[in-house]
């Protein structure tokens, strides 16, 4: 049994992470922090955990040494305090964007400023197990992943690796929890309810992660639109293939890439209500569902993917990485299949 701590546990990602770890067979959560909730029971902020745990929030300055620390802090804060946190635990999983990119130059390009701790960048491994498993296994410092980047990377990786990914135009529809739990003008209910609001038509920061994983020269453009949904990312990509394919070839390609992946499911049926992936089906899970439809000419492929931005797009992948880092069963604590309807 390992002892885990969560730094910044009052947000949506921290709550999702705590929920997963409380039911993990090899983990005891010994501490969880929040500057604004010190002394309060965690169920007062995360009401779904009432009766599940008696943990109370503590101040970050009171954190004691443990086996693994999960950092669920606002972007920029982890990097500013990394030396302090690294002294408290031999393994770190940082769910923010601070250590996702592998160079200070990339960080400056996409985040508009100098990295607060550039010497630490090389110590972190990008935390997407499906594409980076061997580097994560046994690593001591692992970054989180961008939820939109994860949907893109998993949806398009088989095509990119086979040299079939030509120009791709992608629309991502996302839920309100992607914006975090701090209220703002865009999350005010009268402004948010019923909205279909494109808030990043170009140059989304997660593109840096896509280029890092799929190649700097990938011809991918994507836009992000907020819709009336709480959890979830829905991806629809129009892909021009570099060579015409038959449908059986696309099936062979995706099955070959993901046959042994426990959390990637192929959903591409000819009939039924749920023929292609949809976020509602994967809410609360660590799954990414991927489907596709090939146009008659064999050169135009529509790829559809769905994941939970708080699950596979954040806390779920973080727990999956922790399992690899400690040589646990990779699926430990992550087998919840979701609920339906």
- Residue 128 is given by DSSP the state -
> What is the distance of C-alpha 40 from the center of its chain?
28
Residue count (the chain): 341
- Active-site annotation holds for 147: yes
Residue 254 and residue 266 in contact, taking contact as beta carbons nearer than 8 Å: yes
- Which three-class secondary structure state does DSSP give residue 66? coil
> What is the distance of C-alpha 75 from the center of its chain?
15
136, 116, 137: which is closest to 125 by C-alpha? 136
Q: What residues does 113 pair with on adjacent strands?
A: none
Structure tokens at 182: 């701090």
Structure tokens at 331: 């699926």
Of 72, 147, 288, 321, the catalytic one is 147
Residue 34 and residue 45 in contact, taking contact as beta carbons nearer than 8 Å: yes
Query: Distance (Å, rounded) from C-alpha 85 to C-alpha 267?
Result: 41
Structure tokens at 286: 């660590």
Catalytic positions, please? Answer: 147
């Amino acid at each position: 049994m390992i002892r885990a701590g969560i730094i910044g546990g009052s947000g949506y990602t921290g709550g999702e992470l705590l929920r997963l770890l409380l039911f993990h067979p090899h983990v005891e959560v010994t501490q969880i922090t929040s500057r604004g909730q010190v002394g309060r029971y965690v169920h007062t902020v995360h009401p779904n955990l009432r009766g599940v745990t008696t943990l109370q929030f503590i101040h970050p300055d009171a954190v004691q040494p443990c086996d693994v620390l999960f950092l669920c802090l606002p972007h920029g804060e982890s990097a500013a305090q990394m030396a302090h946190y690294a002294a408290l635990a031999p393994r770190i999983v940082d769910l923010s964007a601070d250590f996702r990119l592998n160079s200070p130059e990339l960080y400056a390009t996409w985040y508009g400023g100098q990295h607060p701790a550039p010497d630490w960048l090389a110590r972190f491994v990008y935390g997407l197990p499906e594409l980076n498993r061997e580097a994560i296994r046994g690593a001591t410092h692992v970054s989180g992943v961008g939820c939109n980047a994860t949907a893109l990377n998993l949806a398009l990786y088989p095509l990119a690796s086979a040299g079939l990914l030509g120009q791709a135009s992608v629309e991502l529809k996302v839920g309100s929890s992607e914006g975090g739990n701090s209220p703002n003008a865009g999350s005010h209910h009268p402004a948010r309810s019923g909205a279909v609001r494109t808030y990043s038509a170009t140059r989304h920061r997660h593109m840096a992660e896509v280029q890092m994983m799929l190649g700097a020269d990938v011809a991918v453009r994507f836009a992000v639109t907020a819709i009336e949904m709480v959890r979830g990312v829905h991806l629809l990509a129009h892909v021009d293939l570099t060579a015409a394919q038959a449908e059986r070839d696309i099936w062979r390609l995706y099955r070959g890439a993901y046959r042994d992946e426990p959390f990637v499911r192929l959903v591409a049926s000819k009939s039924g209500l749920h023929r292609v992936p949809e976020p509602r089906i994967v809410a609360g899970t660590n799954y990414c569902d991927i489907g596709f439809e090939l146009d008659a000419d064999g050169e135009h492929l529509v790829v559809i993917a769905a994941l939970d931005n708080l699950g596979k797009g954040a806390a779920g992948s973080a727990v999956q990485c922790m399992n690899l880092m400690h040589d646990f069963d990779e699926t430990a604590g992550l087998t919840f299949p979701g609920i339906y309807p």
